Structure 1
């Protein structure tokens, strides 16, 4: 996740729409202009978000095709019933903890990104940043300030102000400003955040030109990691971060495998279970071979030309049950830790020496596999189960905090241990760690850099910024 954060500066898993970046900058500028106190600024911001949310919800209902590549507005499910009734009470929805729980509405989800982009200031007060283009944003969103003080928004008003919809930034002045800010023409060096972001954006733009992308993360990941075209294309080869992203995609496979294996182990706990019983369940799901023999039977991680092979997506491997599949992918990742070099290796293992050798990291696992090479795979699985349980407890204790209400220590964990017994208080979920490409694609679509036609992603009207 640290590598993802570095390679996609300005975007997180909860920044969903381009227009909110501009809207928050506008409200910051207006609050500074009016010299508003914190409470008044919060109220103005919440009312503005409700206006944009209501207009966008109405437009989404009437013109769904215009939103094909763009996420629905925040609080859509809360605002929709009001829109359908024909009247949105701005004050009622904008009240604290109604359409959004935080006092600042949905701004907390965006503020870190907006500060990094210098749309808003880094100070504790709400104020516009040095990269905020007031004229461009007012030209696109000035209508918001004309509606925030209305009591209600009826259907006609929502339709009349459709240009304020989250999809409106595709061809509006605020969208053009944001597209320039995100794409940062001329900043191609990976020594700056702007340059890193531009390289990532250029890579994604080039991929949608070279192959059919329907599901962003799935299709771009497989293309960048394994497709020969991704290695041979001059544009992609000229972007240093393409190789780093390739390494990160391969590492994400290992992360997904750890999550899947841990979820399977946790959900295998039934009432009070001994550590030995839980480790035996893992062992029983594996073949009776040595650890080395099992490794040797895994798919090749390199092609004949020495490039990464799609071993993680081998059909026979995909057909196996969760514990066997997870362990197989983890062992493939351990093998890759000794095969990858250069930028690919940097993306795969990160740049922090402590993380590279961290427990459960691919390099750590590769070293442990050497120790277990001639010993039974099932015994290795039993040992690994103990490692995972102990690690989960250490991490939980590291995150433990006293409850300010009653002073008791809150330990964030589903798994609890008592000597040799383990039990859980809820089920565990699995899944891949987010590369943020889906969020990034939606934001780029909102500013007209990308688009989607019949479920296929393409360059948008402002895509030339990345060509």
Structure 2
């Protein structure tokens, strides 16, 4: 135990940081209100730990006073030490996470805005499971089927009464564009060699990489070939899903996803509350590579060849990579020189990489939220499909 927490020899510790993983654990605990940091010290938060739960952890926490702990002592530490679910812990976390009292009742004035927002997200996911859980999709796709496309967001009485539903539609729609950029960038970097000079690339060679995969014809023609974004009566259609089903790894599929995001960014396409989240609540003008930026490219390139747009997208990605790298520029204390945190570098006008870029989607934390809900007994899996339990419907008020 002492060695694992040795602040003088961090290389032997379980973490190279003096406070270990407190940033990760403490961040969520602070948001939940179970912990507060005052004068640099940890203090009980606004949601005080109840006595039964404190007693549950006493045997385990008492071991922290010892420099050496045997396996026998650890086994005798009780449920907390073994990670066995406890009703004392589950009941309290259910109240904190769903903003309810011990009887499962939500009284809005007893909770802060962050608590009510968290409860709203749980309710949205719960209602999505009620409506589409039988389709056998994972939590995130079930939520997309409910709030992003179709009419559920506005016609369902539960969802329509939750203001945060619009925010989730905007976020998940924006998520398609972010994922498209990540996959396109990762594919571009994958085509570049290492600093040893094997397959390093000039900017023109990188432009040619995407140009070779672009179809003939104009950008206007490419736009006309996109799946429909709306039905005749104004409902959002799953154009993004249709494109991804054709092959999300193909660079031009991701370019088409960016074009769809750009068209959705136009005024009037999305309701104002959805569009505000889709574009970013604090934005006042187009930001680098965001949907409004891509829409500007559409307007500039609509009558030009798709090849020209492909070359421009490569230039924009390289420029953004440079901006991000310079923003992370730091002095290296070991050498006194400057250190750039980037996997892509340029030398003598040729690009080389020190590693590949990730192409996975940015996490929305919806799968984790669904997992929490299942651990708390709010959700369950039956016959391979997600369902809301009886207590889940009562606590989250998902029935009307």
| Residue number in structure 1 paired with 2:353 | 424
Does the C-alpha gap of structure 1 residues 314 and 159 become closer, same or farther in structure 2, counting only changes over 3 Å?
farther
Larger helix percent = 1
- Structure 2 vs 1, CA of residues 345 and 188 (structure 1 numbering), >3 Å: closer, same or farther? farther
Cα 1:260/1:190, change in 2 over 3 Å = farther
1:151 pairs with 2:80: no
In structure 2, C-alpha distance between the alignment counterparts of 1:343 and 1:413, rounded to whole Å: 36
Compute the displacement of 1:188 (Å). Answer: 8.8
Which position in structure 2 is the counterpart of 1:238? 161
Residue 346 of structure 1 is matched in structure 2 by 276
Runs of 4+ in 1 over 6 A off after TM superposition: 188-191
- Note the aligned Cα RMSD (angstroms): 2.8
Structure 2 residue aligned with 1:266: 189
Cα contact 1:188–1:198 (8 A) shared by 2: no
Structure 1 residues 194 and 461: alpha-carbon distance in aligned structure 2, compared to 1, 3 A threshold: same
Q: Does 1:107 align with 2:22?
A: yes
Take 2:318 and 2:4, find their aligned partners in 1: how far apart are those partners?
A: 45
Question: 1:133, 1:247 → 2: CA distance?
Answer: 36
Q: Whole-Å Cα distance in 1 between the matches of residues 347 and 74 of structure 2? A: 62
TM-score between both structures, scaled by the size of structure 1: 0.73
State which of 163, 174, 199 in structure 1 corresponds to 2:120: 199
For residue 122 of structure 1, give the secondary structure of its aligned residue in structure 2.
strand
Matched with 1:127 is: 43
> Out of 368, 375, 399, which is 2:304 matched to?
375
Deviation at residue 135 of structure 1 after TM alignment: 1.4
Q: 2:78 aligns with which of 158, 161, 167?
A: 161
- Within 2, Cα distance between the matches of 1:321 and 1:285? 12
Change in CA separation of 1:282 and 1:412 when aligned onto 2, cut-off 3 Å: same
TM-score (norm 2): 0.84
Which has the higher relative contact order, 1 or 2, with Cα contacts under 8 A spaced 6 or more apart?
1
Aligned to 1:57: none
Whole-Å separation in 1 of the counterparts to 2:389 and 2:74: 29
Render the CA deviation track for 1:101-152: whole Å, top value 9, x for unaligned: 4444443312122122221122211222232224142144333235555731
**Residues 440/320 of structure 1: CA separation in 2 closer, same or farther (3 Å cut):** closer
Change (3 A) 1:344 1:100: same
- The match for 2:94 among 154, 163, 179 is 179
SS in 2 for 1:226: coil
- In 1, Cα distance between equivalents of 2:146 and 2:246: 18
- What SS is found at the alignment partner of 1:127? strand
Do the aligned partners of residues 442 and 107 (structure 1) sit closer, same or farther apart at CA in structure 2, a change above 3 Å counting? farther
Counterpart CA distance in 2 for 1:315 and 1:390 is 27
Give the whole-Å Cα distance in 1 for the aligned partners of 2:347 and 2:110. Answer: 53
- 1:395 and 2:324 are equivalent in the alignment: yes
Q: Displacement of 1:436 after TM fit? A: 0.9
The answer on whether the counterparts of 1:247 and 1:348 sit within 8 Å (CA) in structure 2 is yes
Measure, in 1, the Cα distance between the counterparts of 2:137 and 2:248: 26
How many pairs does the alignment contain?
A: 374
Decide whether the 8 Å contact of 2:123 with 2:396 is kept in 1: yes
Q: Against the structure 1 CA distance between its residues 316 and 224, is the aligned structure 2 distance closer, same or farther, given a 3 Å change threshold? A: closer
Q: Please give the secondary structure, in 2, of the residue aligned with 1:151.
A: coil
Summarize the Cα distance change of 1:448–1:435 in structure 2 as closer, same or farther, 3 Å threshold. Answer: same
CA contact 1:183–1:198 (8 Å) conserved in 2? yes
Task: Tell me if the contact between 2:128 and 2:142 (Cα under 8 Å) persists in the aligned partners.
Answer: no
Unmatched runs of 5 consecutive residues or more in structure 1: 1-89
